[in-house]
Amino acid sequence: MTRAQQTLSIGLLVASVYMVAFLGLAPLPKKIADDIIPVLPFWALVTFGAYLLAKLGYGVLTFNDCPDAYEELMKQIQEAREDLKKKGVEVD
């Protein structure tokens, strides 16, 4: 089963369970059926957004500079300038 099929299957399962609960086909306490089930999709959306923001913030917080990559890039730029000068192209 591919990742897309697995995601689609889980999504359909969750949607089916939610519809059964929302339409009242499953016996649930009145408080849950009236107060929680209708706002469950909005709660899930807000929770997912908060998770993504936290993940983004953590990624920014733990972002590392790459001094080795900087040195390698500067060396490649210098080599490219030298190569262009040999071919008669003037560079700054």
Task: Please indicate, yes or no, whether residues 15 and 27 belong to a single structural domain of this protein.
Answer: yes
Q: Which pLDDT score, from 0 to 100, does residue 68 have?
A: 83
CA atoms within 13 A on the CB side of 63: 7
Note whether 33 and 54 are same-domain residues: no
Domain holding 44, by residue range, is 38-91
Q: What is the pLDDT of residue 5?
A: 96
Residues 47 and 33 in one domain: no
Residues 62 and 79 in one domain: yes
pLDDT for the residue 80: 94
Is 84 found in the same domain as 50? yes
CB contact set of 33 (below 8 Å; sequence gap of 6+): 21, 24
**pTM, to two decimals:** 0.59
Question: 33 near 24, Cβ under 8 Å?
Answer: yes
- Exposed / middle / buried, residue 37 (Cβ in 10 Å: 0-12, 13-18, 19+): middle
Chain position carrying tokens 């369970």: 17
Domain co-membership, 49 together with 62 = yes
43 burial type by CB count under 10 A (0-12 exposed, 13-18 middle, 19+ buried): exposed
pLDDT score for 38: 94
Do 56 and 83 share a domain, yes or no?
yes
17 and 49 in a single domain? The answer is no
At residue 16, the pLDDT reads 96
Closest among 18, 63, 55, 59 to 39, alpha carbons compared: 18
Going residue by residue through the chain (92 aa), what tens digit of pLDDT does each one get?
899 999 999 999 999 999 999 999 989 999 999 999 999 999 999 999 999 999 999 988 887 777 788 889 999 999 999 999 999 888 77
